[in-house]
Amino acid sequence: MAEAAAAKRIDFQTDPSRYHHWKLVTDGDRAELIMDVDENATLFSGYQLKLNSYDLGVDIELADVLQRLRFEHPEVRVVVMKSGKDKVFCAGANIRMLAVSTHAHKVNFCKFTNETRNSIEDSSENSGQKFICAVRGTAAGGGYELALACDRIILADDGNSTVSLPEIPLLAVLPGTGGLTRVTDKRKVRRDLADAFCTVEEGVKGARAVKWRLVDRVATNSKFDAEVAALATELAASIKKAPGAKGIALTPIPRAIAADTITYSTVRVAIDRPGRRATITILGPDANPPDDIATMHSQAAQFWSLRLARELDDAILELRLNELEVGTLVFKSEGDPGRVLAHDAFLANHAEDWLATEIRNYWKRVLKRIDVTSRSLVATIEPGSCFAGTLAEIVFACDRSFMFQGSRKGDNRGPATMLLSAQNFGAYPMSNGITRLQTRFLGEPESVGAAEKQTGKSLDAAACEDLGLVTSAFDEIDWDDEVRIFLEERASFSADGLTGLEANLRFAGPETMETKIFGRLTAWQNWIFQRPNAVGADGALKRYGSGVKAEFDKKRV
């Protein structure tokens, strides 16, 4: 069954007409998001999604809902998340699904669910959409983690409804979706109480849950809906956003998937299987941005900046989940850097427009998605490329960047250039809360200032190398060999070693809840997920539900 998980292509595109597990009901500035998992609509065979438990398929729909809430329902201010089932809010990630999944799938699943939880918090912070989790029945493990991602948690005080993180006592693993970090850093639960909470299988209910700060309020069944509504009104009032926003439709993304290529309108992915790498070519805008904001709204999902963000996001997810042996992603671009900068300027000049803001916030998340992608990231900046402003951020997200110096013989396009825009200096913070350039130049903050002074200027290879914006510049004499040898060498290293190396080097600087969540996921959870106490034949994940108690290696490491 784990084999099946590896063989089936996972698609991240969906829309409400195809949802199996979620229902979104909007009413003015309120929305209800109802989780009602269809236990038979699983991504793979070998398990059923009982008790509102989830697999990646459920989360792909949730991610889609959140995206549509932002773009299609900008009028919504408060989202109430609730269960469509009696007695259970959500039982978390499906254990049998985890037991039959490859390690790689488990890691990719956790990473994506984390990105989705972070996206809930991003909506709350930047899109004026607050989330209330209305928990009736049990919210266990991933179910409680879903609640933790919301702004407020209301728990039914009915003697049965509980919140719990039973991973340790039940499964010998950790909550994989930021549970521990959010308990201590977001809800600020006292550490000894958190320790007690995480080791008691049945969890905590009622007044104690409030006292321990695990939930915000409890309400009896009879008053539950009214309490939720009152809280929603309270939250809606706290949101400052102009009324009257009218959403746009996130129309299906046209793409052609062939054996070794994925082709979108602005992104081309070409996979070199023997070389274990994919080249992602980004196509710049073929026109300048419209003169006015209304035209952008009418272009909607066709507006270049948004179209590219959606296509690139999909391409990264495709490669992450469906192309495990592609170890290196090589970013290239083609187009007019001036037009890219014009788009950046257009979005910056219309910062008051909700859609312009959403597009920029989306780019922030796409870039973060690239940051946490466990593949070697390389940018090659060649004549004819358009790594400018927002697209230059992709270069700064890469582990290495190579820039072509001068022109190729017979190429009249002129030398490669990079351009910086205001977007490179604050619009797209990384998970560590600072920009990629600030992270890059942690030891030399003056270099950020030096780069900022060059905003809007065409920077050739020598200038980029001098400013520290690229790793190396090579002229025609060296280019082919240097790039080829680098890529071949990269492909020869241990995939695990590189994953660890890159994750360590990418996120210099401050620690945030997000960096903790991803860092601890990769370090601790992935370690535990590999250990016999969890996944061995006698381990807790394997024996879960068999009635036979797991056997543990008692040595502490």
Partner 1 sequence: MTTSPTPAGAVDYTTKIPNNINLAGDDRVLKALEQWHPGYIDWWMTMGPDGFQTSDVYLRTAISIDPKGWAKFDYVKMPEYRWGILLAPQDENRLVNFGAHKGEKAWQEVPGEYRASLRRLVVIQGDTEPASVEQQRFLGKTAPSLYDMRNLFQVNVEEGRHLWAMVYLLHKYFGKDGREEADGLLQRRSGDQDKPRMLGAFNEETPDWLSFFMFTFFTDRDGKMQLESLAQSGFDPMSRTCRFMLTEEAHHMFVGETGVSRTIERTCAAMKAAGIEDPYDINRVRALGVIDLPTIQKKANLHYSLSLDLFGSEISTNAANFYNGGLKGRFMETKIEDDHLLTSATYPVLKLIDGQIKSVEEPALTAINMRLRDDYSKDCQGGVNRWNKVIEKAGIKFAITLPSVAFHRHIGEFKDVKVSHDGKVLSETEWIKNRDQWLPSKSDGDYIASLMQPCWERGKYAGWLSAPKVGIDNKGGDFEYVKIHRA
Question: Among all residues, which ones are annotated catalytic?
Answer: 145, 167
By beta-carbon proximity to partner 1, the closer residue of 195 and 481 is 481
Minimum CB separation of residue 331 from partner 1 in Å reads: 19
Between β-strands 267-272 and 261-263, what pairing exists: parallel, antiparallel or unpaired? antiparallel
Residues 417-446 that bind partner 1 (CB under 8 A): none
Instruction: Give the single-character DSSP code of 13.
Output: -
Q: How many residues bind partner 1 (CB under 8 A)?
A: 16
By beta-carbon proximity to partner 1, the closer residue of 258 and 477 is 477
Residues 218-247 that bind partner 1 (CB under 8 A): none
Distance CA 529, CA 105 (A): 11
By beta-carbon proximity to partner 1, the closer residue of 258 and 485 is 485
202 binds partner 1 (CB under 8 A): no
What is the token pair recorded at 493? Answer: 């290293």
By beta-carbon proximity to partner 1, the closer residue of 133 and 491 is 491
What is the token pair recorded at 71? Answer: 């773009």
Minimum CB separation of residue 107 from partner 1 in Å reads: 26
By beta-carbon proximity to partner 1, the closer residue of 388 and 403 is 403
By beta-carbon proximity to partner 1, the closer residue of 35 and 483 is 483
By beta-carbon proximity to partner 1, the closer residue of 257 and 495 is 495
For residue 340, which amino acid is it? V
Minimum CB separation of residue 330 from partner 1 in Å reads: 14
**CB within 8 A of 307, min separation 6: which ones?**
265, 266, 301
By beta-carbon proximity to partner 1, the closer residue of 143 and 406 is 406
- Return the ∠ at Cα 328 (arms to 411 and 43), rounded to 5°: 125
Between β-strands 22-27 and 30-35, what pairing exists: parallel, antiparallel or unpaired? antiparallel
By beta-carbon proximity to partner 1, the closer residue of 204 and 491 is 491
CA distances from residue 545 to 198, 369, 540 in whole angstroms, order as listed: 20, 35, 9
Between β-strands 138-140 and 22-27, what pairing exists: parallel, antiparallel or unpaired? unpaired
Task: Name the strands in the sheet holding 376-381, side by side, starting at the edge strand that comes first in the sequence.
Answer: 256-257, 261-263, 267-272, 277-283, 328-334, 376-381, 400-405, 472-475
Closest CA to 357 of 452, 253, 241: 241
Minimum CB separation of residue 494 from partner 1 in Å reads: 12
Distance CA 226, CA 236 (A): 15
Minimum CB separation of residue 491 from partner 1 in Å reads: 7
276 binds partner 1 (CB under 8 A): no
List the one residue from 213, 300, 472, 542 that touches partner 1 (CB under 8 A): 472
- Return the ∠ at Cα 298 (arms to 297 and 302), rounded to 5°: 90
- For residue 412, count CB atoms less than 10 angstroms from its CB and return exposed for 0-12, middle for 13-18, buried for 19 or more: exposed
Residues 490-549 that bind partner 1 (CB under 8 A): 490-492
Residues 478-497 that bind partner 1 (CB under 8 A): 478, 481-482, 484-492
Hey, is 401 helix, strand or coil?
Answer: strand
477 binds partner 1 (CB under 8 A): yes
By beta-carbon proximity to partner 1, the closer residue of 36 and 482 is 482
Minimum CB separation of residue 276 from partner 1 in Å reads: 12
Minimum CB separation of residue 490 from partner 1 in Å reads: 7
| Distance from the first to the final alpha carbon of the chain | 31
By beta-carbon proximity to partner 1, the closer residue of 294 and 477 is 477
Distance CA 68, CA 73 (A): 7
Q: Locate the DSSP E strands across 157-311.
A: 162-164, 204-205, 217-219, 256-257, 261-263, 267-272, 277-283
38 binds partner 1 (CB under 8 A): no
- For residue 262, count CB atoms less than 10 angstroms from its CB and return exposed for 0-12, middle for 13-18, buried for 19 or more: buried
Closest CA to 325 of 256, 394, 400, 275: 275
Minimum CB separation of residue 444 from partner 1 in Å reads: 23
Burial 531-553 (b: 16+ CB within 10 A, else e): eebbbbeebbbbbbeeeeebeee
CA 479, 330, 283, 465: dihedral to nearest 10 degrees? -50
What is the token pair recorded at 428? Answer: 């797209």
277 binds partner 1 (CB under 8 A): no
Hey, is 353 helix, strand or coil?
Answer: coil
Minimum CB separation of residue 278 from partner 1 in Å reads: 17
List the one residue from 224, 362, 441, 474 that touches partner 1 (CB under 8 A): 474
Distance CA 74, CA 72 (A): 6
Instruction: Give the single-character DSSP code of 303.
Output: S
Minimum CB separation of residue 396 from partner 1 in Å reads: 22
Minimum CB separation of residue 130 from partner 1 in Å reads: 51
Residues 326-345 that bind partner 1 (CB under 8 A): none
The residues of the shown chain that bind partner 1, judged by CB under 8 A, are: 472, 474, 476-478, 481-482, 484-492
